[in-house]
Amino acid sequence: MANNNEDSPKKEELVNVHAEKDVIESSATQSESTKSSAKTKKSSGNGLLWFVVIILFLAVLGLAGAGYWYYMQQQSASTEAATVQQSNTATLNAIERERGDILASLEAVSRTNETLKSTVTELKAQNEKLALQAESTLQQLNNMEGRRPADWLIAEADYLVRMAGRKLWLENDVRTAILLLVNADKRLKSLADPSVLPVRATLAEDIQTLQQLNPVSQSSVALALTGMIAQIDKLPLDTFEKPEDANAEDTTLSESADDWQENLAKVWRSLVNDFLTVKTIEGPVEPVLSMEAQFLAKEQLRLQLMHAQTAALQGDAGLYSQSLQYAQTLIIEKFDIEKSQVTGFVEALQNLIATDISRPIPTELASQKPLERLLDSRVKQVFGQGASAL
pLDDT at 303 over 90: yes
3-state secondary structure of 244: coil
Tell me what pLDDT residue 268 has: 74
pLDDT band at 286 (very low <50, low <70, confident <90, very high): low
- In terms of Cα–Cα distance, which of 130, 135, 132, 162 is closest to 375? 162
Q: Cα dist. 354→6, 251, 306, 324 in Å?
A: 216, 55, 18, 10
What is residue 132's predicted lDDT score, i.e. its pLDDT? Answer: 87
Mean residue pLDDT across the chain: 77
- Segment 56-101, tens digit of pLDDT: 889 899 889 888 898 888 888 888 888 888 888 888 888 988 888 8
Residue 18, CB-side half-sphere exposure with 13 Å CA sphere: 5
Integer CA distances (angstroms), 213 to 172, 209, 221, 318, 363, in order: 11, 7, 16, 18, 13
Q: What pLDDT score was predicted for residue 299?
A: 92
Identify the residue with better confidence: 30 or 171.
Answer: 171
Q: What's the pLDDT tens digit per position in 100-132?
A: 889 898 888 888 888 888 899 888 888 888 888
Q: Which residue has the higher pLDDT, 307 or 271?
A: 307
Q: Over pLDDT 90: what percentage of the chain?
A: 6
For position 253, what pLDDT does the model report? Answer: 67
In the structure, what pLDDT confidence band is assigned to residue 50 with cuts at 50, 70 and 90? confident
